[in-house]
A and B are shown apart, each in its own frame.
Chain A
Amino acid sequence: MLRRLGTAVGCLLILVWCLLPVAWIISLSFKTQESITVGNPGFLPSEGTNAGWQNYIDVWDNEQFRRAILNSVGIALIATVASVILGTLAAYAIARLEFRGKKFVLTTALAIAMFPVVSLVGPLFDMWRTLGLYDTWPGLIIPYMSFTLPLAIWTLTAFFREIPWELEQAAQVDGATSWQAFRKIIVPLAAPGVFTAAILTFFFAWNDFVFGISLTSTENARPIPAALSFFVGADPFNRPASLLAAGAVIATIPIIVIVLVFQRKIVAGLTSGAVKG
């Protein structure tokens, strides 16, 4: 009985922990900008300072904000697809084939997952300017791919180890080559794992900030987290909190939708990818 009560209290605690700051930023996005300038403490908008949808309209009218959303969606999607394709090839080899250098691949992936991103920014900044990749979509897609590949490789390897591979052997007995067996039999079976890896990869790319601020200079390629942080508004000493909050809520919607729809897959991917028995 005590145990059940404890679990119930724990559940409530988790819900408050996770949702309170989200509720807060939503509440903030409905406060009027004038009241923010004066100072409007408290969790909910106080009497007469409810702005309705005005902040959302204003932020959406902002050309730079719309462009940043487009950049983020485009860059994150391309990086995800490319990274998952390369990750699938590599994970298949790791889970299924015997080859020299397997340990090297796994060690490299682990090392890169722990790499301090900021230490690359300087030389990359220099390199990208020389190569003409600075402030372009590919200039962000390539680093996103490098840093999501370890995650993709781990998750996919864990999934691939669970697949009933007899089917592949059966196909090979029937005369299929290794490549045909991979493409025709394994890819459809592996799709759920691939999908999970794609979600985690997308989260990373959508979330990135360091590359986003260092490798872009204009709205040409600047993704949404960077755009939000540079969004100053009319008065540089008093940041337009409610406008920023509205922008932040819009930037969070894709994440919430993905979480709501694919909750089970994400948990499976995170737990199978990182710790294995």
Chain B
Amino acid sequence: MSTATVERPARGKGKVRASDRARAENSLGQKLVAPAIFVMLLVTAFPMLRAIYLSVFNYTLTAPDDREFVGLGNYITALTDPLFWRDTGVTVLYMLVTVSVELVIGFVFAMVMHRVIFARGVIRTSILIPYGIITVVSGFAWQFAFSYQNGFVNGWLPGISEQFNWFGETTPAVIAIMVSEIWKTTPFMSLLLLAGLAQVSEDMIEAAKVDGASWTQRLFKVILPNMQAAIMVAVLFRALDAYRIFDNIFVMTNGASGTESISFLTYRQTIEQFQLGMGSALSVLLFLSVLLIAWLIVKLFRVDLAAARQEG
């Protein structure tokens, strides 16, 4: 960073007259990012445009010749279908509960990791295991753990019958899926929060302590406000990730018992039922809802997008 500022003045002057050096740099820069941009857009922008195009057709892969233009028909069908709204509601619930629980547990873990002096390596190694493990494996582990036939959860939890079927009803099934999701992604949250915690100056906390601030005052008045940027970026990333929840549902319930998320509905329409037109409309709606959530979080919490975007 410091070296960048040293040479900036010279370059700033170059911009006015656009010296050969500056022009060469501009062209080299664009050449270097071009392949990355191309690959990123190839699989996102282009299929997304195609989805928008397909979404106005009644198009089934099993009968490709019967493709007919239906205008906004698919959107109207989706938006007036109670199933769509139920799935959206369930998805929002997954997002709100998992992210808030993760924020609390992740913060506690980050505090512990920040303070621990010995066994630091062991703690950090073990916290990376849930982060690295395949979501499908996590889903299986928890599905079998909650199973009344072969699991241990019923035996360990007091007040739960040995024969209780977690996957028979919506509420317990949703809880089981959330547990797997929270277990797997809390480490990511806590590592991001740990990075934020490291930026809070110890002197400031010490000064507050000398001035007689209690532990809670130090936490809420000094530590949390000073790591706000880190918290917001972590929430933004995790919330959007949680809204896309798919793997755990696929493995643990396959969408049964009302656990289906909006991603799962979209997948079911396109890949399992070959309804490309309808599926594309759902894809567009899913994309728009993610945009809406991103916008809401950025506006409500005033996330510093430059920080998220890594602009130095």
Contact = CB atoms under 8 A, between A and B. Distances in A.
A57 interface: no
Contact of A146 (B28, B44, B50, B133): B44
Contacts of A24: 141, 144-145, 152
B199 A178 contact: no
A122 B28 contact: no
Given A11-B116, A98-B26, A120 B134 contact: no
A66 to B, nearest CB: 17
A25 B266 contact: no
Contacts of B269: 122
A18 interface: yes
B233 to A, nearest CB: 6
A271 B125 contact: no
A126 B276 contact: yes
B133 A255 contact: yes
B271 A42 contact: no
Contact of B40 (A31, A43, A108, A228): A108
B47 A25 contact: no
A120 B33 contact: no
B92 interface: no
B192 A271 contact: yes
Contact of A7 (B7, B46, B112, B183): B112
Contacts of B51: 119-120, 122-123
B109 to A, nearest CB: 6
Contact of A263 (B25, B105, B124, B271): B124
A209 B250 CA distance: 10
A275 B307 contact: yes
Given A7-B112, A41-B151, A105-B37, A252 B137 contact: yes
Contacts of A179: 28
Contact of A225 (B40, B113, B135, B270): B135
Interface in B216-240: 229-230, 233-234, 237, 240
Contact of A275 (B123, B136, B229, B311): B229
Interface in A91-140: 92-95, 97-110, 112-127
Contact of B307 (A10, A214, A256, A276): A276
Contacts of A31: 150
Nearest to A256: B129
B134 A158 contact: no
B312 interface: yes
A260 interface: yes
B127 A214 contact: no
B308 interface: yes
A7 B125 contact: no
B128 interface: yes
A229 B187 CA distance: 24
B137 to A, nearest CB: 4
A112 B162 CA distance: 45
B54 interface: yes
Contact of A121 (B122, B130, B133, B267): B267
B89 interface: no
Contacts of B112: 7, 10-11, 13-14
Interface string B87-113: 000000000000000000100110111
A114 B250 contact: no
A50 B51 CA distance: 51
B311 A150 contact: no
B287 interface: yes
A166 interface: yes
A81 interface: no
Contacts of A189: none
B126 interface: yes
A205 to B, nearest CB: 11
Contacts of A98: 11, 15, 22, 25-26, 29
A244 B252 CA distance: 13
Interface centre among A92, A206, A276 (most CB of B within 10 A): A276
A22 interface: yes
B29 A99 contact: yes
Nearest to A261: B125
B280 interface: yes
B138 interface: yes
A165 B192 contact: no
17 contacts: A21-B138, A90-B37, A104-B37, A113-B237, A114-B290, A118-B263, A122-B269, A122-B270, A124-B47, A145-B39, A178-B25, A210-B263, A225-B247, A228-B137, A271-B198, A274-B192, A275-B233
Given A36-B150, A108-B37, 20 more contacts: A10-B115, A87-B36, A97-B25, A105-B33, A107-B309, A110-B305, A117-B244, A118-B267, A120-B47, A123-B47, A123-B48, A123-B280, A124-B43, A153-B36, A161-B312, A210-B247, A229-B251, A248-B136, A259-B128, A270-B195
Interface of A: 3, 7, 10-11, 13-15, 17-19, 21-22, 24-25, 28, 31, 36, 39-43, 86-87, 89-90, 92-95, 97-110, 112-127, 142-143, 145-147, 149-150, 153-154, 157-158, 161, 164-166, 169, 178-179, 203, 206-207, 209-210, 213-214, 224-225, 228-229, 241, 244-245, 248, 251-252, 255-256, 258-260, 263-264, 266-267, 270-277
For the complex of A and B, 5 pairs with smallest distance between CB atoms: A99-B29, A10-B112, A122-B270, A271-B195, A119-B283
